[in-house]
Amino acid sequence: MNRLPASPPDPEVAADALAAAREAAFLSPNDAGAHARLGRAALAADRLPDAIEALQRAVRLDPDDAAARVDLGRAWLAAAEAEKAAFHLRRAVALDPGDTLGARALVAAAEAGAAELSPVFVRNLFDQYAERYDAEMTGTLAYRAPEALHDLFARIAGAPANTLDILDLGCGTGLSGRAFRAFARTLVGVDLSPAMAAKARARGIYDRVIVGDMTRACARGAHDVAALGETPAAFDLVVAADVLGYVGDLAPVFSSVRVTLRRPGWFAATVEENPDAPPGSSTRGFAFAPTRRFRHGAAYVRRAAQAAGFGVLALEPTELRRDRGQPVAGLAFILGG
Ligand SMILES: C[S@@+](CC[C@H](N)C(=O)[O-])C[C@H]1O[C@@H](n2cnc3c(N)ncnc32)[C@H](O)[C@@H]1O
């Protein structure tokens, strides 16, 4: 997993350490070690762009600092930049032939391509995008995943008005919540990005918006569940519009959604479509695209749904949005059980 090192439990401690490291690097601009320490402090504080900048400076000042190369490699992996990660990690292996820093395993991960997007990367991406999101998505990108999903769900479930407890995974600024609000008795959103969640709250259509990871928010025993409700089976409908592209393997999300859904319950979601490999092929059924999002195949979605105990009530091709004028092919699906 391309995760960054675990953050200290107290964000204030991490912020103080980052401020101190920043000051030290400012006072010693040509000290490679000071920039490497700043990079590490930024990683611990989940400040990925700052970490990359500081670690790049550290390796420019001291190209033979294997530990800084490893940290920079980890940071690039977390940013889904596998080639850049592999470059620095290979240099680290050459500088540290005994592999005391564990760079070899990271090279292998980088060469296999970034198999997982770091939550820190996704959060930073959307924190920066939040202000422009609605205008760009509904304008030039002609985004219509929420509407496509709404129409498909209404067809399958018969548009139940004001009766459902709904959880909107990766709710963003609330475009998906807006499409489903008419079905809701209660509507809860969860999103990794505080800036996107703030926009969703400001929309005034959610009963609650939680900042956190969607899988953890659904999973039984995760501390976020306390915020969602006392019992795991808390929702009639879970929605994930244009969110699963930030996840490769869908199994953990599907099984945690199963836990948070009542029986009967529905899971309505979209994915960007990955052409299915021929039957019997060993490919995984999803791929990391040059757009730095994952694409998933229809057969893979069906297998993952079945493995999590869902039936596939509908699964259809749909146009999610436009990218440089070209349609982005997707799948909209409703799982039930
Ligand atoms: C393309 S936006 C879609 C937002 C909204 N569903 C819509 O239809 O406009 C994707 C959102 O998913 C969120 N996200 C991505 N991965 C997530 C995760 N693991 N847990 C929670 N939110 C996540 C991002 O922060 C972002 O706000």
Q: Measured in angstroms, how far is the CA atom of residue 193 from the centroid of ligand 1?
A: 8
- The pTM of this model reads 0.78
- Residues 186-219: pLDDT tens digits? 999 999 999 999 999 999 999 999 998 898 777 6
Q: Where in the chain is the domain with CATH 1.25.40.10?
A: 11-111
Which residue is closest in CA terms to ligand 1's atom 13?
170
Between 77-81, 139-143, 168-172, 322-326, the lowest mean confidence (pLDDT) is in 77-81
Atom of ligand 1 nearest to the CA of 197: 27
Q: Which residues line ligand 1 (CB under 6 A)?
A: 119, 122, 126, 145-146, 170-172, 175-176, 190-193, 196, 213-214, 241-243, 246
pLDDT at position 283, please? 60
- 313 in Cβ contact with 293 (< 8 Å): no
Using pLDDT thresholds of 50, 70 and 90, give the confidence band for residue 259: confident
Nearest CA-CA partner of 75 in 12, 124, 29: 124
Q: Where in the chain is the domain with CATH 3.40.50.150?
A: 119-336
CATH of domain 119-336: 3.40.50.150
pLDDT at 2 over 50: no
pLDDT at position 279, please? 60
CATH of domain 11-111: 1.25.40.10
pLDDT at 9 over 50: no
Give the whole-angstrom CA distance, residue 145 versus residue 192.
19
Using pLDDT thresholds of 50, 70 and 90, give the confidence band for residue 337: confident
pLDDT at 69 over 70: yes
Quick one: CA torsion of 46, 52, 54, 55, rounded to 10 degrees? 110
Between 38-47, 88-97, 237-246, the lowest mean confidence (pLDDT) is in 38-47
Pocket test of ligand 1: the residue of 228, 243, 249 to mutate, having most ligand atoms within 8 Å of its CB, is 243
276-286 mean pLDDT:
63
Q: Measured in angstroms, how far is the CA atom of residue 292 from the centroid of ligand 1?
A: 14
Q: Measured in angstroms, how far is the CA atom of residue 129 from the centroid of ligand 1?
A: 11
Q: Measured in angstroms, how far is the CA atom of residue 192 from the centroid of ligand 1?
A: 7
Strands 184-191 and 286-288: unpaired
pLDDT at position 14, please? 82
Pocket test of ligand 1: the residue of 118, 178, 188, 192 to mutate, having most ligand atoms within 8 Å of its CB, is 192
